[in-house]
Amino acid sequence: DVKVTQSSRYLVKRTGEKVFLECVQDMDHENMFWYRQDPGLGLRLIYFSYDVKMKEKGDIPEGYSVSREKKERFSLILESASTNQTSMYLCASSPPARESAFFGQGTRLTVV
């Protein structure tokens, strides 16, 4: 089975802090994604990566950056956390071509 593991299930951070969310997958997938999910807004793509050191902006990249130094690991960075970044963050990975994505368990981030 594909396993996508996010480093934290719950996280509370203060406004202005730099926040790192880590994601690791064990299936040698080329593609990795970061989404946030908010009530009424659904899943929105923040960034995705299709190869090591390669990244593309998704629909809502503002206030976020990413890092992919190794194929299995994709990090989401909140440069200066704000209360409007309180959300559920979901990491996913997928092989290339037409296949579906597999999700981690999610990190519920609260910024106070």
Partner 1 sequence: QKEVEQNSGPLSVPEGAIASLNCTYSDRGSQSFFWYRQYSGKSPELIMSIYSNGDKEDGRFTAQLNKASQYVSLLIRDSQPSDSATYLCAVNSGGSNYKLTFGKGTLLTVNP
**Is 79 one of the binding residues for partner 1 (CB under 8 A)?**
no
Pairing, β 87-94 against β 107-111 = antiparallel
Q: Which positions from 46 through 65 interact with partner 1, judged by CB under 8 A?
A: 48, 50, 56, 58-59
Query: Under the criterion CB under 8 A, does residue 110 sit at the interface with partner 1?
Result: no
By CB under 8 A, tell whether 32 contacts partner 1.
no
Residue 34 binds partner 1 (CB under 8 A): no
Site map (CB under 8 A) of partner 1, residues 84-103, x = contact? ------x---x-xxxxxxxx
> Alpha-carbon dihedral of residues 28, 69, 31, 8, nearest 10 degrees?
90
8 binds partner 1, rule: CB under 8 A: no
| Beta-strand relationship, 73-78 and 64-70 | antiparallel
**DSSP assigned state of 109:** E
d(CA 111, CA 109) in angstroms, rounded, equals: 7
* Residues near partner 1, by CB under 8 A: 31, 33, 35, 40-43, 45, 48, 50, 56, 58-59, 90, 94, 96-106
